[in-house]
Amino acid sequence: MDKKTDLTNGGILNKLIFISAPIMATSVMQMLYNLTDMFWLGRLSSDDVAASGAAGMFVWLGLAISALGRTGAEIGVAQNKGRGNEEAAKHYLQNAVFLALALGITYSLTLVIGANGLLSILKIQEAEVFSAAINYLRIVALGIPAAFLTTTLTGAFNGSGHSRVPFYMNSAGLLLNMVLNPLVVFYTNFGIVGVALANMLAQYLVAGLLLWAIKKHKERPFAEVSLLKKPDLQRLKQIVGWGLPVSLESGFFTGLYMLVTRVITSFGSDALAVQRVSTQIESLSWLIGGGFGSAVTAYLGQNLGAERWDRIDKGFRIASLAMIAWGAVVTIILFFGGYALIGLFLRETHLREMGAFYLKLLAIGQIISSLEGVGSGYFRGIGKTVTPSVSSIVSNLIRVPLCWWLSATALGINGVWWAITLTAMLRGGAVYGFALIRQLKNRRHQVQTTA
């Protein structure tokens, strides 16, 4: 490895920033994809925002499935790079790509064929919103294979320490999306269908650029790599072992959120539109936290492979302090700027007020939510992905009945917002708490070993 991407030596904070900044910027790009869609859909109607939010649940579920390939590439490349075993790192990437494409194509076809039945799960009351959601979902689904490939190749770049490359490629996709959206909204009659087409085309552009980069870019992880190889069942099994807990965690989260969405839709499409916009604005916190967590995964993976226990301990502490600072910044933004932020996407005064209240509640738990990324990244880096996944699943299981109960009180829709906030704090606190406990045990063990 070159000095820049060698995370086993040099200043820890500098290394984490060098790796995490492009990852977090890439995460912001993903957020801006969604915000760009919502901004232009908001120029059409709040019903179109609600429709995209309903369809987005199944796109979100797809991201959970794609975690299988991404996690395998991230961990497999990071740990074997740390050991200096380039061939093993390449083999993990090749098998992760095979798995990602197989799952991506299968899921894409499922959404295209079953859009009507799947969306009926959400109990959308307005026929116009339901119809628009079907059209939006079927078109966006055609970009799922490209999205799955993108996440896996991104994992390989991040695991190798070359995290800037995915940022560049996602920036190009965002630029295309930002150019196409106003064109289809103002100069065609495609409406929500045109916005979905722009999103789908941007996904294929990013995937194509990353395919080129993995083979030709000067910052590629490997001098030479062929992605079309016969799968290795043993390595596929290891990839699934790493990625399945992460995938199940995200999948359960999305599935349970769909049940929460059924509660929200009982209050009408306005509430669904507010939830869609507010969630994307709040993702400023958890996408950044998750991006920083990916940097922690790469950092710990390499140092674990090199058996640099001292750097693992220091890196965990530094990462924690950095995310506490970021969580504090987001808390201020959401609490004091919620009304103005919601107003960028929803013009109706009552919707802006509803969304501003929701964002104020979410602001309460931002520091804990940011630390969740450090905890999850820690466990992925050491190859132990079950603990954070179980913690997350249990917390999200509590969310559904809490939403039903609180929404049936005088709180109404605000009861849903309270339930989401409280369970998010519970999830973040549990994941980070378990990581902290394990790291303290590891620290004591190292002290005893060297004494």
Q: What is the largest CA-CA distance in the chain?
A: 73
| Least confident range of 36-45, 146-155, 213-222, 285-294 | 36-45
The pLDDT of residue 42 is 67
Looking at every residue in the chain, the average pLDDT score rounds to 82
pLDDT of residue 137: 92
Residue with structure tokens 């039903």? 404
Pick from 365, 360, 370: nearest CA to 286: 370
Question: Which H or E run contains 36?
Answer: helix 12-44
Q: Which two tokens stand for residue 44?
A: 């059409």
Please report the pLDDT score of residue 5 as a whole number: 58
H-helix segments, 306-385 = 309-343, 349-363, 366-381
More confident residue, 167 or 113: 113
Name the residue ranges covered by the structural domains of the chain. Answer: 12-450
Chain segment 295-315, per-residue pLDDT in tens: 787 777 777 776 777 777 788
Among 22-36, 146-160, 403-417, where is mean pLDDT lowest?
Answer: 22-36
% residues pLDDT > 90 (the chain): 17
Please tell me the distance from the alpha carbon of residue 11 to that of residue 139, in angstroms, as a whole number: 46
Q: List CB contacts of 408: < 8 A, sequence separation 6 or more.
A: 415
What's residue 102's pLDDT?
A: 93
Give the helix, strand, coil percentages of the chain, each rounded to 5: 85, 0, 15
- Name the nearest CA neighbour of 320 among 219, 176, 439: 439
Average pLDDT over residues 315-328: 86
CA distances from 436 to 110, 183, 245, 377 (A): 40, 49, 19, 12
Q: What is residue 283's predicted lDDT score, i.e. its pLDDT?
A: 75
Q: What is the Cα–Cα distance from 311 to 317, expressed in whole angstroms?
A: 10
Q: Give the model confidence (pLDDT) of 27-86 as tens digits.
A: 677 677 667 766 777 666 767 777 877 888 888 888 888 888 888 888 888 888 777 787
What is the C-alpha to C-alpha distance for residues 63 and 144, in angstroms, rounded to an integer?
9
| Tokens standing for residue 13 | 């904070």
More confidently predicted of 192 and 421 = 421
* 8 or 253, higher pLDDT: 253
Q: Which of 4-8, 298-302, 391-395 has the highest mean pLDDT?
A: 391-395
- The stretch 400-405 carries a mean pLDDT of 91
CA dihedral (99, 101, 102, 106) positive or negative: positive
Model confidence band, residue 422 (pLDDT cutoffs 50, 70, 90): very high
76-85, 202-211, 234-243: least confidently modelled range: 76-85
Tokens 């995490």 belong to which residue? 20
pLDDT for position 451: 44
What pLDDT does 450 receive?
46
pLDDT value at residue 106: 95
Contact 199, 33 (CB under 8 A): yes
Model pLDDT, residue 215:
86
| Residue labelled with tokens 């994307």 | 280
Give dist(CA 285, CA 370) in Å, integer: 6
Q: Is the pLDDT of residue 157 over 80?
A: yes
pLDDT of the residue at 348 = 82
Token pair 């954070």: residue: 388
Over residues 110-131, the mean pLDDT reads: 87
